[in-house]
């Protein structure tokens, strides 16, 4: 049951081809964004679609898989956990970031 405490699953379209960074020691980091859509009818009965953008990161072998197979526009499922972090930018302002740390990708359909 402990594995279910912080688990995220998203199905959406890749907004960009993953940005890959090769790190010291041979590890990789992949950064990508995924758009998810939710449709509903408003009070006037009109269909409305809202898009949410999610920042996703992947490390190591998962980053290598992202680099090899993922391209902009693919519909994918991402599974991972939600990460919150903060940092201080060059101007000394504290910034906060929320992102999904991917543990697995599944390609659902091609562009």
Three-state secondary structure of 11-45 = EEEECCCCEEEECHHHCEEEEEEEEEEEEEECCCC
Q: Which domains does the chain have, with CATH numbers?
A: 2-109 (2.40.50.140)
- Residue 1's pLDDT band, with cuts at 50, 70 and 90, is low
Using DSSP's 3-state secondary structure scheme, residue 66 falls into helix
Interatomic CA distance for residues 21 and 28, integer angstroms: 6
Interatomic CA distance for residues 31 and 42, integer angstroms: 34
Q: What is the pLDDT of residue 109?
A: 85
Q: What are 40-93's pLDDT values in tens digits?
A: 999 999 999 999 999 999 999 999 999 999 999 999 999 999 999 999 999 999
Q: What is the pLDDT of residue 3?
A: 64
């Amino acid at each position: 049951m402990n594995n279910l405490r912080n688990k995220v699953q998203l199905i959406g379209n890749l907004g960009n081809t993953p940005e890959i960074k090769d790190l010291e020691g041979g590890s990789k980091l992949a950064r990508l964004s995924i758009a998810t859509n939710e449709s509903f009818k408003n009070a006037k009965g009109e269909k409305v679609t809202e898009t949410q953008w999610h920042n996703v990161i992947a490390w190591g072998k998962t980053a290598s898989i992202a680099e090899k197979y993922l391209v902009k526009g693919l519909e994918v499922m991402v599974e991972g956990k939600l990460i919150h972090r903060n940092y201080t930018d060059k101007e000394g302002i504290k910034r906060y970031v929320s992102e999904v740390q991917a543990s697995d990708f599944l390609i659902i359909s091609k562009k």
